[in-house]
Chain A
């Protein structure tokens, strides 16, 4: 009887959330899906009159998906995602290993490491744009004369550097939290058995920190695949070398090309969904582990 009361209370407490999500997620999703099959504006009808409105366009909007601009944006997005997430994981793990041992200065380090995370992405973009100016400090330190923020291959690197700076410390924090729940006696045992340092790292630390790491990677993947503001601010909108899928969709939407924008948006959504699904299936990043544990506990009982 109490359980039914809880069910009713739960429904009541969740209904505002469902309302909000229906408005800001479900409605746009369905609307974009519909929009992606429609065309709008003016055209001539069978009698030669100009009519204004919307009509079914089939897959016409999706034609752009095989176009050069879309494929370029998809390639940029994918390259950006793979490179930044890989570098951020390596750097993040390294930072976490250092911070775990830090006793003195730990609070300072932890506050410092939150600074890149706290700097708004748009501001980080401007900051790196300034650093990467032709006569800026990056070129001065490197002794180079590279045009980092002009449209070209160096711009890709500039965007990657800026993103890695901003997010590697965040990955480090998540990994550090994962490291801290590894019991000390595991290391004690390894030490007694005479395990070398790298053995301890590969055989103990990495497997035990894996769940926390996988969740961090999943969140980073999802974020990187939809990146928009960093290339927009650092290099600029409509720049071929750094245009991402989100950038392309935004550009089409602001030019009132709603049909293609929706088609590209749907494609991006599917891309992200497939990656997330494959990631969870293949690597078993278990976001609902707690739920599962409880279920198992109940089954055992």
Chain B
């Protein structure tokens, strides 16, 4: 009984604020301040407002997708190789490299933006996708390497030993034997890297001035209403729901894997 109440308490804690955002997004602007648990009447007014051409929200979603997908792809390519070496090969300085990867993941983004802002201004990268993709690797890459190293460690050693005894080079053993086995781990890591990049804010808000290149998280924060000081909360809530829905779908589909991925680093 007590236990069930506690479980309901956790669910309420996690879901109710989010539920309030969803409910508010389906109210009309006229009754946006209503406190009823359901919208009455239901309305798609806010969603229509979000996709009004001058809001540039569709473009912002696309920008987010481009930046997050590219960062994830490049990071996986680079990170898988590194993680394999760290998990399966013996070489000097292995611990030092692992420690470096952890240290880098704690690096404050704010320190990074000053020199990169200067550099990107000098080489004309401001308002470009690469100005978001390249710095995003500073947090996506350590995350990827750390997770994949854990996954690679869990795979059986016999297979690649056999492959190497049969004359495969370490690299061929990695590509032909390990990579197919590690596919689930790589997939999980891809989801985590994608979500982390999708949620990125400080780099995107610094490197991009051109509204048509802004990512969704930045675009939403800068929505303004008809009057300058009138915050269009209905529109913001609808946009917030739209930005979050892809991630919630990922979470519902792959919750087991995501939990495994999130806790892999902590438990080793």
Instruction: Give A residues with C-beta under 8 Å from B.
Output: 2-3, 5-7, 9-14, 16-17, 20-21, 23-25, 27-29, 31-32, 35, 95, 98-99, 101-102, 105, 107-123, 125-128, 130-131, 133, 135, 137, 140, 165, 169-170, 172-174, 176-178, 181, 212, 215-216, 219, 222, 225-226, 228-229, 232-233, 245-246, 249-250, 253-254, 258, 261-262, 265-266, 268-269, 272, 276, 287-291
Contact = CB atoms under 8 A, between A and B. Distances in A.
Contacts of B164: 2
Nearest to B195: A118
Nearest to B21: A127
A178 B201 contact: no
Contacts of A229: 201-202, 217
Contacts of A253: 110, 113-114, 117, 206
B24 A130 contact: yes
B262 to A, nearest CB: 6
A173 B82 contact: no
24 contacts: A7-B91, A17-B78, A17-B145, A24-B135, A25-B107, A32-B114, A98-B6, A99-B7, A112-B14, A112-B15, A113-B10, A113-B14, A118-B244, A119-B244, A121-B201, A123-B21, A123-B243, A131-B17, A165-B17, A178-B266, A246-B108, A266-B111, A268-B108, A290-B268
Given A9-B169, A253-B114, A226 B90 contact: no
B199 interface: yes
Contacts of A105: 7
- The 4 A-B pairs with the shortest beta carbon distances in the complex, nearest first, are A177-B263, A265-B111, A31-B115, A246-B110
Given A111-B252, A114-B258, A13 B81 contact: yes
Contacts, number: 282
Contacts of B86: 14
Interface residues of B, number: 94
A216 B262 CA distance: 11
Contacts of B50: none
A114 B244 CA distance: 12
A177 B169 contact: no
Q: Is the interface of B mostly helix, strand, loop or mixed?
A: helix
A32 B195 contact: no
Contact of B137 (A20, A110, A254, A290): A20
A125 B202 CA distance: 14
Contact of A28 (B14, B77, B111): B111
A268 B236 CA distance: 32
